[in-house]
Amino acid sequence: MSRDADADTRADAGTGADADTRADAGTGADADTGADAGTGADADTGADGEGDDEAWAAAEEAAALCRVRVRELREIADFERVIRVFDEIWHPEPANPPITVELMRALSHAGNYVAGAFDGDTLVGASAGFFASPAGEALHSHVTGAVRRGAGFALKLHQRAWALRRGLTRITWTFDPLVRRNAHFNLAKLGALPEEYLRDFYGPMADAVNTGDESDRVLAVWRLDAPHVVRACRREPYLPEVPPGAVRGISHEGGRPAVHVVDGVPGDGEVVLVAVPEDVESLRRSDPGAAAAWRHAVREVLGGLMEGGARVIGFARGHYVARTG
């Protein structure tokens, strides 16, 4: 099951970053260059095409800024190191790892995306994804996680450059809409946008991050050549405009959600703000009832808006920003 900020990204939050970066954060890149590439993103991307020079330059800059080298992974020993890093991030039960050595081996051998971020010989983050529908257009980022600040961003930019070189136009991943840092990473820092609300998508998840909660997710879609995405990859965060008359869909009230949008979708053209808790993972431990209340409120309001045709246009100041009609 996906864990990406490509599933929960957690990468730039210090302990993980993409698949639901387990967060493809979260929010939400590498060709194999070996040890000769210094600190940048992988140079050797094979014979798949010329790629996007600007995308590779952005990926290399992101890697250099956090002093990592990103490269594709193909060896069993590297896949075993990925498992150890992901164990450090998610502490999964043995029967519920975010990914296995065997699956990474199969994905890599079949030409899919499996990459790691290295500080010298130490792996500090990794990401895995596979080609998705529509064929020839999309990559689905199954899991991304990092333990070095900035490594998640470097991995995602490497993933983007890798995808563009292969003629792809979008990358998708799932993430938990309640995890504020992943929402900021995926929407503001990367410029991905949720396009589908997925209720209890994975069923029960047995790990230290998700246990005891329902696994609602949103499907993030990263349109790789969109102007706001290009700017985000230059470290210009994407923050939507919030008009003074925006409607409050959910607000905070004593640590719990106060639901204001209940009966259907507001009128066309309305901007609706949907708050999320500051730290739902801590809340699950300290007040499971409040965490469950947030889950159901966000499902009702954000899920209801999206299912009714509203578009999420960004994330700002702890709120999803949705436009109806």
- Pair 264, 208 in one domain: no
- Pair 63, 92 in one domain: yes
- Pair 59, 205 in one domain: yes
> Cis omega before residue 92 (within 30°)?
no
- Pair 270, 152 in one domain: no
What DSSP character marks residue 246? P
Of the pLDDT bands very low, low, confident and very high (cuts 50, 70, 90), residue 96 is confident
Over range 237-257, report the average pLDDT. Answer: 94
Residue 3, in any domain of the structure:
no
Domain count for the chain, please give it: 2
- Pair 191, 56 in one domain: yes
- Nearest CA among 169, 131, 126 for reference residue 9: 126
Residue 319, in any domain of the structure:
yes
Percentage of the residues of the chain whose pLDDT score is greater than 90:
74
Residue with tokens 């929407």: 187
pLDDT (0 to 100) of residue 30: 34
Residue 6, in any domain of the structure:
no
- Pair 161, 274 in one domain: no
- Pair 194, 264 in one domain: no
- Pair 258, 153 in one domain: no
Residue 60, in any domain of the structure:
yes
Residue 260 sits in which domain range?
A: 247-323
- Pair 263, 199 in one domain: no
Write the pLDDT tens digit of every residue in 110-130. Answer: 999 999 999 999 999 999 999
pLDDT (0 to 100) of residue 264: 52
- Pair 24, 164 in one domain: yes
Residue 134, in any domain of the structure:
yes
Provide the 10 A C-beta neighbour count for residue 265: 18
Please give the Cα distance from 313 to 200 (Å, whole number): 23
Predicted model pTM: 0.85
- Pair 71, 203 in one domain: yes
Tokens representing 229 are 């995405």
Which of 184, 209, 233 is the endpoint of a domain? 233
> What residues contact 207, with CB distance under 8 A and at least 6 apart?
22, 90, 91, 92, 93, 96, 98
Of the pLDDT bands very low, low, confident and very high (cuts 50, 70, 90), residue 204 is low
Q: What is the dihedral of CA 237, 243, 246, 252, to 10 degrees?
A: 50
**Residue 268 pLDDT > 90:** no
* 8 A C-beta contact, residue 41 and residue 162: no
